[in-house]
Amino acid sequence: MLIKYLQEKLNAQVITVTVDVGQGEDLKAAGEKAKKLGVLKHFSIDAKDEFAKDYIFPAIKANALYEGKYPLSTSLSRPLIAKKMVEIAEKEGANGLAHGCTGRGNDQVRFDITLGSLAPEMKIIAPVREWGLTRDEEIAYAKTKGIPVSDSAKKYSIDASVWGRAIECGLLEDASQAPPEDAYEWTTSPEKAPNTPEIVTITFEAGVPVAVNGKAMVPLALIEEVNKIAGRNGVGRIDHIEDRIVGLKSREVYECPAATVILEAHKDLEKMVMTRHEVLFKQQIDAQWVFLAYAGLWVDPLKDDLDAFINKSQENVTGEVKLKLYKGSLQVIGRSSPNSLYDKNLANYNIKTSFNQSYSKGFIELWGLQTRMYNTLKKASSKKPKAKKA
């Protein structure tokens, strides 16, 4: 639809780019559709492997969950798509970059900042935002131009990558109502999921997953495999109220089967191999990393700084995590690592160990010293007679 708008309103020669990040789109069909719309050139780019390795895996290391729930499935793909757009634009000598984001969402922020940083000399065009088009107007315009619109697109706004599927609009805008079952495609309804729990083991090396149930896999194949396993068990459905960068609160529904499982496993393994001080400090770093990625600041130098810390922190995050999936629920049921700081002998209450319990008395004395001092002074102060008013 926007192609026709650009051609008619701006008299532009349009070059289109489709970037495959695992959304399941038919690249050949996209190219044929672009040709029918009269574009100057069309480029289809398979970036799934790059997306998995260079965008999703860093997010795993950072335990990337925006507001504790959203695994950044859409957010992570935007800087990669923008990067590919700029590469094609520079190669073809284009003088502008266009995207279809609205003025209400987060994607406009991500595209504008990334495109503007990578190609500051090019004009950024956002027709939907600039011309104030509504979703119904876009669909109606597409019909007048003979542009087919899928039934799902008429009902919902859907964006997908191998890391997750985002569903918005339509009935979902009523935050008081449960999402209709037809909004979901990747996950089985928990009620219809298998009646027997499924156990899955994720193996990590230096903070990233490398094998599923003992089978070594490349990043993309591993994510796709966990998507299948978690999806058939109804795991990965997310429904929450999200704070957009532009200030709006929105009801967001996601399907992120692999992300839900892998991130839970990664966080659990970190707790086993990292000191308490590392875990607590890294939580702050992770939160800042997630905010930058969500807020369109992937190319900000602060993210590079945070990456340096996160990558260093992951050197010992190697081991296996076993999880039980059952009718939409997810539970870690075991973990092991050659770098584990957990010592069964030290923690055991029933046998003699090298842990000297008598040391605890002195530790408690020092640990609570200032707390006791404060409360002693407070108690003494409360017993002092109050001064009489003049």
Which of 99, 106, 95 lies closest to 126, judged by CA?
Answer: 99
Position 389 in a domain: no
| Residue 112: band (very low, low, confident or very high) from pLDDT cuts 50, 70, 90 | very high
For residue 150, what pLDDT is reported?
A: 60
257 & 370 share domain: no
pLDDT tens for residues 65-90?
999 999 999 999 999 999 999 999 99
| Residue 118: band (very low, low, confident or very high) from pLDDT cuts 50, 70, 90 | very high
147 & 206 share domain: no
For residue 155, what pLDDT is reported?
A: 83
176 & 298 share domain: yes
Number of Cβ atoms within 10 Å of the Cβ of 174: 10
Contact criterion met (CB below 8 Å) for 323 and 199: yes
| Residue 131: band (very low, low, confident or very high) from pLDDT cuts 50, 70, 90 | confident
- Domains contained in the chain, number: 3
pLDDT tens for residues 321-362?
999 999 999 999 999 999 999 987 766 656 566 778 889 999
191 & 235 share domain: yes
Alpha helices in the chain (DSSP H): 2-9, 27-36, 48-51, 57-61, 77-92, 107-118, 127-131, 135-144, 151-155, 219-232, 257-273, 276-294, 301-313, 344-347, 359-367, 369-383
pLDDT over 70 (residue 134): no
pLDDT tens for residues 225-280?
999 999 999 999 999 999 999 999 999 999 999 999 999 999 999 999 999 999 99
Choosing from 128, 155, 182, the residue where a domain stops is 155
218 & 147 share domain: no
For residue 10, what pLDDT is reported?
A: 84
| Residue 148: band (very low, low, confident or very high) from pLDDT cuts 50, 70, 90 | low
Percentage of the chain lying above the pLDDT 90 cut: 76
Position 69 in a domain: no
Phi and psi at residue 328, to the nearest 5°: 90, -10
Indicate which CATH number applies to the domain containing 97: 3.40.50.620
**Owning domain of residue 349:** 344-375
337 & 348 share domain: no
For residue 269, what pLDDT is reported?
A: 98
Indicate which CATH number applies to the domain containing 321: 3.90.1260.10
150 & 10 share domain: yes
Tell me how far the alpha carbon of residue 10 is from its chain's centroid: 36
**160-173 as b/e: b if 16+ CB within 10 A:** bbbbbbbbbeeebe
For residue 174, what pLDDT is reported?
A: 94
188 & 256 share domain: yes
237 & 363 share domain: no
